[in-house]
Structures are given as structure tokens and as C-alpha cells.
Copies of this chain bind each other. A is one copy, B any other.
Amino acid sequence: MDKKHLRTLLCHVENGDLKVDEALERLRHLAYEDLGFAKVDHHRCLRQGFPEVIFCPGKTTEQIVQIAQRMADTTANVLATRTTPEVFAALSEVFPDAEYHELAKAVVVNRDQTDCGRGKVLVVAAGTADLPVAEEAALTVEVMGSRVERLYDVGVAGIHRLFDNHDKLMSANVLVVVAGMEGALASVVGGLVDKPIIAVPTSVGYGANFGGLSALLTMLNSCATGVSVVNIDNGFGGGYSAALINRVQLEE
């Protein structure tokens, strides 16, 4: 409820068009809902097609379905991450057009496929074992309404594979770089392009990898500029930030 609406409401009270009790009731939610910056509302009114996301770990199938049912009326696109075939089966009853992406372990409902992005988001992944995280990022980008391109298996151990795809690299508006082990790929890509890069370290590796710590530190200490980092294995977070950056342009 912005200033204009507030003035109107007060005028109605002044005019007697609105009872004090009714006005009171409307103002009761003022503490948060009407302040204009509660995220959910804001999203709902400004950005049709914005997805609801369910992070599944630690929730029962029943809880997930309940959340899904609540959102079934108001949302076009849905993304459930780190889920299982069982959850997919249950979600399918609420969203018959849901799809299960096995590699990303994600359930996707992608009804509204309007392109809300200005450019293309490129998801770059170092190795085969990084694909589940990379795919979670790519699906997130898609569900949020941006075009996504994939460039996989281009780790720095065979750096020519990366350079062979420099057109792809240069044509992206935002990049998500997914890498485990030592995570050097983010620095190398960061040295080649001049677009924002969201780096996603993965827990792929062993020993002194310490569950992804190695790649995480590499990316945080990147000597290349324009690289910012999300949590280990957080493909969703990487894709979300990238899509947010990519759609910035459309919102004015």
C-alpha cells in the first residue's frame, strides 16, 4: 500500500465512504502486507510467471504437496529441487503437467514460457560429475523465464575445449560457472568474458577437497573480476541470481 492508496483510504474515511472499523481492518495488515515491500505480493503483482520454488530436503512428501496445493491457483511455474520420484508422483496429482528431471533431481512445471530475459544465460560446467548441479541451475533459469544455453565438460585440464566455444562464451549476457575439484574454471572464464559471472562450487572431488571447500575458496579468491559466488552445490541459487540479473533490464 503506497502513499497514493493510503491518501485515498483516508479521504474515504474523511468523506464517510469508509467506516472507521473497515479502515482499521484494512490497515491491520499494514505492518507488513501493505508496506509494499513484502516480497511475495510484490512478485505476484509485478511479475507474472515468476515461479514458486520448493526446496524439498527436510520436508515430508505431505508437506511438499500441501505447499504445492496452496500455490496451485496463483502460480504458473513451479520448481521443486532436490526431490525424488516419489515426490514427483505426488506433485503430479496437483500439477498434472509436472516433469521430472532425473539428473537435476528436480520437478518442473513450466507453463508460462514467456522470455523475460534480455539476453541469454550460459551455464558452464567443468566435468561430468558437476552436471546435476549445472542442470539445477539451468532449469532454474528456464523456469524464471530466461533463455539458457549449456556448455558442459570444459574443465581447465583440457582448456582447448573451452576456447573452442568462445563464441558461446562471448554471446552470453550472464554466466553461471559450475565446477568442483579445484574450481579453477570460474577464474579462467572470468578472464575471458566481461559479463557478470555467478560461480557455483560443487562438492565433486575427494580428500583435500573437503566437501567442496577447495572450489569454494578458489572462487572467492578469484583473481578475475566480475565473479561472485553462491553456496556449494547451490545450482538453484546460481541460476536464480543469473536469471535475476538477466531480467533486470525488463523491469523498468
A195-B244, A207-B232 known; A155 vs B223 contact (CB < 8 Å)? yes
Given contacts A221-B214, A231-B220, A58 and B128 within 8 Å (CB-CB): yes
What chain B residues lie within 8 Å of A233 (beta carbons)?
206-207
**Docked-complex contact B226 and A228, CB < 8 angstroms:** no
Bound Cα distance A180, B117 (Å) = 33
Copies of this polypeptide in the complex: 8
Give the total of A residues in contact with B, Cβ under 8 Å. Answer: 109
Q: Which residues of B contact A232 (CB under 8 A)?
A: 206-208, 220
Contact A218 B31, CB 8 Å, known A40-B158, A249-B118: no
The 0/1 profile, CB within 8 Å of B marked 1, for residues 215-229 of chain A is: 111111111111111
Q: Which residues of A1-53 have CB atoms within 8 Å of chain B's CB atoms?
A: 3, 6-7, 10-11, 13-14, 16, 20, 23-24, 27-33, 35-40, 42-43, 46-47, 53
**B183 engages A218 (CB within 8 Å):** yes
A156 touches B37 (CB 8 A): no
- Contact between A10 and B36 (Cβ–Cβ < 8 Å)? no
Query: When A129-B58, A220-B230 are in contact, do A31 and B174 touch as well, CB less than 8 Å?
Result: no
- What separation, in Å, do the CA atoms of A128 and B190 have in the docked complex? 20
Chain B residues positioned under 8 Å from A173 (CB to CB)? 248
Most chain B CB within a 10 A radius of its CB, from A29, A118, A207? A207
Q: Which 6 A-B pairs have the closest CB atoms?
A: A58-B129, A207-B232, A32-B160, A184-B184, A228-B228, A214-B217
With A33-B160, A206-B233, A207-B216 known, 18 other A-B pairs at CB within 8 A are: A3-B24, A7-B24, A10-B23, A10-B27, A14-B16, A30-B30, A32-B159, A32-B164, A59-B129, A156-B184, A156-B191, A159-B192, A182-B221, A196-B241, A206-B232, A209-B221, A220-B230, A226-B240
A-B contact pairs, 6 of them (CB 8 A): A40-B158, A119-B248, A184-B188, A195-B244, A208-B231, A229-B230
